[in-house]
Every structure is written in structure tokens, then in C-alpha cells.
Amino acid sequence: MKFNGIIITLITFYVSVINAKALNKNVKGSTTTQKVSSSDVASGFSKNDDKNNLQKLSVVKVLGDGGDANDHLGPTTWWGIPLERMPGLQEDITKLNSLLEDVAKDEYINSDPQTYEKYSELLSLGISRGTTSSPEQGQSDLSSMVKIASSLTDAQCLSVARIFTHSLNLVNVAENHHRFRLLKAETKTNGPQREDCLEGTLKMLSSEDKDALFDQLCKQQIEIVFTAHPTEVNRRTILRKFRKLSEALNNLDDSSIGDFDRSENDAVLRRTVASIWGSDEIRRKKPTPQDEAKGGIAIIESVLWDAFPAYCRQLDSVVQAKLGKPLPPTVVPVKFGSWIGGDRDGNPNVSPAVTKEVVMTLRLRAAKLIGDDLQALYEDLAISKRYSKEMNDLADRVMGSNDVMEKYRRVLGHFKKRMDATRKFCEDALALLKEGKGYDHGQVTGRGADSEVWDDVNPKPLFDAEELANALDVMYASLQATGFSEVADGALKDLMRKFKAFGLTLTPLDIREESDKHTAALDAVTKSLGIGSYLDWDEKTRLNWLTAELSSKRPLFKIRDVPDLGYPEAVVKTLNTFEMASTLGSGSTGAYVISQARTASDVLAVMLLQKQFGMTNNNGRAMRVVPLFETLTDLENAPEVVDTLFSSDGYLGRVKGKQEIMVGYSDSAKDAGRLAACWAQYTAQEKITAVASKHGVELTFFHGKGGTVGRGGNPSVYRAVLAHPPKTINGRFRVTEQGEMITQNFGDVAQAKRTLDIYTSAVLREAFAKHVEPSNEWRKEMEDLSEVSCAAYRQLVRKEPRFVPYFRQATPELELGVLNIGSRPAKRNPKGGIESLRAIPWTFAWTQTRVHLSAWLGCGEALNTPEPEKQKRLRDMYDNWPWFRETIDLISMVLSKSDMSINANYDEQLVDKTPELMGLGEEIRKRLQDTRSGVLKVTGCEDVTAGFSLLTSSMKTRASFVDPINCIQAEVMKRYRKLSKKEKLSDKEKEQLEVLTDSLRVCISGIAQGMRNSG
């Protein structure tokens, strides 16, 4: 069959290129080994260290720059594993795409055979373009694809784009599975040889004191915060089906299964692929914040609830073998937080009622998960003898239980009943909230809790996590002390660790709001008090007043009077947010993040508003206040702002000597360009760390990174952690995981375990690393690079009058709204221009057109220097400064994914044929070429793909699918825009617009899947 032959040709090419690339490691001018060694300087190596050690961590990437922590498997995985194992990937891709062929053929071969033929023609041209070494042939193939795309009917555009998009999704499934197939094979043969896992890291740190390593593991704090940034283009329904495919492929890898089980798993593949094809992959309406929260909860319920204890057991095994003792059951390597339902920055859909509903839903799902585990433990711990005194005392507190002799069951059964009561409370509360009514939150906040005697007949809901945590500790100690240590280290230990990580609320919810909202609220308050306009006060006056009010015992106003004070609606909403937060209960909330923080008063303002609503350290309701510095100017001013904050009367006492600071990566990159933003982030963290040290403050940085390089993402978490400025992590690392990155890094148990392993080992390694401190000469060079790159970036984005019209015509920025992929508007200000556009759609739009401008603009002007001494210095920085090398390599990787010919077709199809706009497109592509040239001068490589051979191979394969989608997308956008301009549409034209809208959605999704990232 024609289709099957094309697929087999494609896969054969894919595997042959990977084999050839893997065997031919050296790249003239800069070998892969050379790239590896310099990256490892971040880990404490110098250029003269043992080459064998240096080769253990590779920068070679298997997939795109989607930020997937699991991508980085190292050369021993790909080069050490015999290459004959590669056919497993070939077999999987062929199998899955053949199944897709069957269902596509069934639909189109009779009803519209031309659709099928056009798809085959486009795929053949895509393969030809990807495999040819002739630029002329490649351009000819692209021209033919453009011509075919123009000949498609609207319905055919949708149908053909769907096949390509589903094919890319299936390639992703197969690649993800193969990655873990090789990981498993490596573990079975030689044990992990990678550095970016705990076993590999401990091997590299074997000269360190074992007790010091153990203590560091016990005390380090890592928190992964899930956010709902709209970059996951797949519906949750489709994601669940991808997991089913992965599970079936994993089962089929087991050579011990019989013929029946093999045929059953083959049937699962057939049914699932057919189901995916038959599903409506398009979101028909924008998700609500509650919908987004359900997605985050689903990851915990379906993956992390099992993956986390499994990883902890794996961690115990490694620590026991390498350090001689397991970690205590109360120590967990990673915790989790969330912004989903709490992030109201620029999202009017996140109201106080929404946040309250999300928190109650989190409590409900936690109660179910914990209750199920307690029931399983109840059935397991039917032990009727040998208890510790503490266990006897604990069991005696339970009154009215039928479990008289089996005291573990008495306690477990009681807490199971309390979790059932908690579920009932949450269900009733949610029903009231959906009716617009309130519920009695007294129990949630702890008032009236009975902690002395536990009534088993009429159990109360459980809202104090310490009650259950202490009970689990007592049971564990009792089992250990009475000869049942094996039992203690089973399901009970798993639950202890899950409860430590997830508590009674699964993920504490951060609240994020813009600083201006708090300023406006306090301005209304001061005016109503008759003391002037807070908005008009200077910073010193604000600080003096805020400090005095924080020390005062009187409230600013009576809370019950808020509706009658005549405050503006926006102010009332801000105040209601604080009132709502005060009722959520222990463990429900995490940090209160202030976006666009610029002054010390921004922090004290939030602390005062918390105090007004009874959120204090004494009652445990206070949220830690975290300023977010996100523009270039804010980052540059941040050290002085923090110093002022720490110097404020009574401040350090209120925060107990601890402070969290959030660094914004995506907005700073959008504001100033990649190089300038990176340097500002680096120096800001250095200087803030020095300020904290001066004041004796324990500092934690919260890294607000997106998935893509353009938004601060890094495909290798391990290298990214090691490349941070010295002395800025110190065992404490908080970071966001967003959108499609959550799926890629935590989509199934194997992926989640791998991600947790990378984070744990990276933070441990960083604590013992011998960091490279940049010299004054290097710092001066970076200042110059930053200034030049920022000026070039801003000149085009802010000052060039042609830029905004070009951007909106040449990219799908205006059409991204049809995706319905997030509850948050694309702009903070709906009437604003590029400056108000959020970093996500900004990056998303440039990624779609394959030019990736947001990740490299300004770099070429900075790196292309005619001065030999300057060029020599840049090369020295690249060879010997891990942070600089990592920065340049990430830019190089993005450049390797760009395609100027594809990008030029968007101009040809969509941009007004004026010399000004068409000329700007040419100028941008010339800048892209100049940036490539500048990067190559710094790296000493002959091509930007050097060191990314597997990424290049994978992208060439993907390009065979993505190139045709790009051609179809440009054609569809042209038709869509033409039709959208009409003031009045006929019924037929309305139907046509609906089809074109769906085609746009599918094309945008397909390109995002092919690039392995979106925004």
C-alpha cells in the first residue's frame, strides 16, 4: 500500500540517520565530546579532568526543546546501548502509523480518495525535502507542497492536517516510550551510567563525605509548582489515550507474555488509535480555571500518587547502597504546589469564588486518595500483638471502635472514617458554592476541632494534617520497634511519604496578583480614612505608614462594612480575595506572589492586607509574600528593593528570617531579548543573594520558567540547575512546570520518576559543585553583549514602525485565540499592543512560523564582532564558563530548529506585498542568518546542529510531517482572514468559516506537536 510504503521509507530514514549520527560523534571544529566536557565544568570539572568522566553527561538531545527533563539520557544510553536495539523504535512508529493508515483509509478511500492522495503526495515531498542535500531540490519540494496546499478544498485542508497531526502525536508516543525502553535496558545491563540521576551523581561525588551527602539529601527542599499557562494543545481526553498506547507498548516489550496477552495488547493499540482518530481533538470552548485545575489534579491522581512513592523506594535503594542507610520516612525529595485556580494576574476569570471551589476540590480529591490508601492499610495491618506504649496510647484515644484487639486497624479505621466525613463535607461545600452560597469554614480553619478524644461513632472531618501525620509516625515507630520492620517499610511508609508530599490538599495553592491591584486597594482605604491618597505618596511615606500599621493592633476597617464603604468594584474584588484566603485552612495555600513587583512597599502592602483579614503567623493563616521581578528594569533594581525591604523595621522578625524571591524568565526575555534577560537574571540573583547574606536571611529563589528557550526553559534540568549562579540555590529550589511541560515530564509513571530523579540529583550535585566564578573581564564582556543585544532587540520590537503590522500579518498571533487552550486572556490589557501581549502567545506565534524570533533576536548583533580579541574572549568564555556555554548552546539548539524557507512562505501568503513589510521579513531572516554566523564563531562549530545530532535527526523526521502542515496553515490563514473581513456572511460562508477555524486549530496543534513545544 502506498501509505504504508511511505511510512516505512520514512522510519527507515529516521533510524539510519540516528545510527549514522550516533556512530559519527565528532563534528569538525567542535566535537560532541568537547561540548560535553565544557558543560560539565558546571559540575565542578575543569577542562583537564578525566575525559571518561566528562563524557558521562551529554548535551545530545533526542527530542525538541520542549523542556522535557526526561529527554536527557546521555551518550551511554544511545551510544552505549547496542544500536541494533533501535529497530524497537522503528517497529513502534511503523505499527502505530500503519494503524492510523487503516482508519484514515477506511474514512477517505471511498468518500474522498483525493484527500488520501493529496496527503500521500505531501508526505512524499516532505520526506524528499528532509533527505535531500540539494538546496534547489528542497526549494522545489517546498514549492510543490505550497501548490498542493493551495489546491485543497477547505474540508481537505482539515482532513489532511488531521492525518499529519495525528501521525506526529504517534511519533511522539513512540519516541517517549523508546526513551524509557532504553533507560530500562541500560539499568538491566550495566546500571545507570548517566550523571543526571542520583546513582550517577553519587558516583561522581564519591570523594565527598557520606554523612555530608546524606544530610544534604535530607535537608534539601525542591518544590515543583504546576501552572495553567495555556501551552498544552492536547485535550485531556487525548492525553489519556496516549498513555494507554504507552502502556500497551510497554506490555508488548515484555518477552515473557503469551500469545493471548500479546494479541490483547495489539487490540488495545488498534482500538486506541481508532478512538483517537474518531475523537474530536479540538477544544470547542475555552476551559474555565476549574477545568484547568481538574487537569492538574488528574496528573496527581493518575500518575504522581503512584509514581512518587515508587521513586522514593528507588531513592531509598540507591541511598542505602551508596551511603549505607535509607532516608527517614519523613524525608521526601520533592514537594508540589500549584497556581491553577489561584493565579489571577491578568485573568478576570479567577475570582475568589473560583479559588475557593478549586481548593475545596483539591481537599475532596485528597480525601478520596488518602481514604483509599487507609483502607488498603487497614486490610493489610491485621496485627493483634506487640505494640509500643505510644501505639497503645494512640489506640486508646479512639472511642467506640469495633476493632478491639487489632490496634493498628483501630486507628486506621478511624482515620478512614474521618476521610469519608471529609469527603462528605467537601461535596456539600462544593454544592453550596455552585449555588452561590457559603459554607461553614470554621471546621476548616480549626475552630472547634476535638484533638483529645477521637469519636469513632460520629467521626469528624479531618482538616489538621498533623493529626494523621503524627498517627502514621507512631504506627511506623511501633512496627519498627516490635519486629515488624518489613511491614513498616511497605505500604505504610509509602503513605507517610505521600502524605508528607501532598498533605490534605494535594498541592498548596499559590495566589498571584499584580502589585497595582494592591496599591489601588490601599489607595481606596487611605482615602476613606481621610489620611490622603496612598497612590500619591512617595515610597518613604508608604513604607512609614505600612510599617506603623503592621505594628498596630487596630484594623483599618470592619470587614463586614466592605460592601458599604463605596470602594470601586475592582478594589472590593481584591479585598474579597484576602477574605477568601483567610478561610481556606491550613495547608491550602502556599505563597502570595506579587507580579510586577517594583518596590519594598509592594511587599508590605500585601502583608498589611493579610493582617487586616486575620492572616497572621500566630494562627497559621499567613501566606509567605513573594515579590516577582520580571522586567529588565525590575531585575536590575531588585537588589536595592530587597535591601530596603530587609531594612524595614520589624520585617525580618515577621518573616522569621526567611524570604522567597521569584525571578521572571519569560517576561524579561520578552522585554529585553534573550541575552540581556539571561544576564540580568544572573546578576540579580547574585546581588540579591549578597543582600540576603548581609542581613542573615535564608533565601529561596522561585524560578518562573516557561517550557521553551524563548521563555527561559531549558531542555536539560540537570545542566540548568548546575549552571545557576554560585551560592544561589543552597539546596532550595522552587520552579514552575507549565502547560505541555507537565504532560511531557509527568505524563506517566516512568516519566515522572525520571523527572523527580533529575531534580533530586541536580540539586544535590549543585550543593557540592566547584562553581566557575566569572572574571571581571568576562563580566564586562557580558555587560557589553547585554547592552548591544537589548538595543537591537528593542529597536526592532519597540521602535520599528513596520514591526507590529508585520508580526500580526506574518504569524498566527491574532488567530491563537481560536485554540481555546487556556482560561487566561492573551493580553493583560485587551486594548494594548505588543507590550501588553503575554510572553506565551508571543513565543507561540514565532514558533509556529519556524523562525523562533523570540529566542534569538539581538544575539547576532552582540556576538558578531570584528575585533579578534573580543572574539577570542567570547570563545574563552564559551569553553570555560558553564553558564555562558549553556546560554549559547540553547540559542544554537533553537537556531537548528528554524527554517527560513518555511518562514518566507508565510510572508508570501499572508503579508501585504509592500516593499516595507516584505522587506522586513527579509531583514528578519537575514538577522537569523547573522545570528547563526555569530553563534558558530563563538562555538567554533561548522553548523548550529553540532552536538545536537539526535535532535537534528528527530527534527528532520518531524519536518516530513510538519512542513506540509506549515504550508496548509499559511493557506488556511489566508482564506480565514479574507472571509473574516466580510461584514456579513451567508450561511454557506459561515459553514466555510467554521471549517477553516477547525483547520487552524488542527494546524496550530500539529506544528506544536512537531516542535515538541508551543509557548
Catalytic residue among 35, 229, 294, 518: 229
Which amino acid type is present at position 224? I
User: Is 670 part of the annotated catalytic residue set?
Assistant: yes
CA distance 777 to 31: 27
As separate numbers, helices (DSSP H) first and strands (DSSP E) second, the chain gives 42, 10
Q: Which residue has the cell 526553559?
A: 713
954: cell is 528527530
Among 767, 847, 787, 780, which Cα is nearest to 812's? 847
Helix (H, G, I), strand (E, B) or coil at 793: helix
Q: Which residue has the cell 522535557?
A: 68
Among 859, 853, 854, 925, which Cα is nearest to 888's? 859
Burial class (CB in 10 A: 0-12, 13-18, 19+), 803: middle
Which amino acid type is present at position 69? A
The number of residues in the chain equals 1015
**Contact between 799 and 833 (Cβ < 8 Å):** no
562: cell is 466592605
Burial class (CB in 10 A: 0-12, 13-18, 19+), 805: middle
CA distance 558 to 564: 10
Among 6, 14, 3, which Cα is nearest to 951's? 14
Measured in Å, how far apart are the chain's first and last C-alpha atoms?
A: 38
Phi and psi (nearest 5°) for 398?
-85, 115
Which amino acid type is present at position 694? K
User: If you compute the radius of gyration of the chain from its CA atoms, what whole number of angstroms results?
Assistant: 29
Helix (H, G, I), strand (E, B) or coil at 885: helix
For residue 702, what is the enclosing H or E element? strand 698-704
Phi and psi (nearest 5°) for 819?
-70, -30
Under 8 Å CB-to-CB from 140, ≥6 apart: which residues? none
Burial class (CB in 10 A: 0-12, 13-18, 19+), 614: middle
How far lies 114's CA from each of 9, 104, 110, 525, in Å?
22, 12, 10, 68
Helix (H, G, I), strand (E, B) or coil at 662: strand
CA distance 156 to 117: 11
- Cα–chain center distance at 65: 12
CA distance 460 to 417: 8
How far lies 34's CA from each of 51, 62, 265, 600, 774, in Å?
10, 18, 44, 45, 20
316: cell is 531509598
Which amino acid type is present at position 391? M
H-assigned helices in 195-340: 198-204, 210-219, 236-252, 259-278, 289-299, 305-323
User: Is 229 part of the annotated catalytic residue set?
Assistant: yes
How far lies 432's CA from each of 291, 356, 462, 573, 589, in Å?
19, 11, 20, 20, 21
Cβ–Cβ contacts within 10 Å for residue 477, how many?
A: 15
How is residue 81 annotated by DSSP? S
Phi and psi (nearest 5°) for 962?
-75, -40
**Contact between 704 and 630 (Cβ < 8 Å):** yes
Catalytic residue among 95, 416, 493, 670: 670
Helix (H, G, I), strand (E, B) or coil at 589: strand
Active site residues: 229, 670
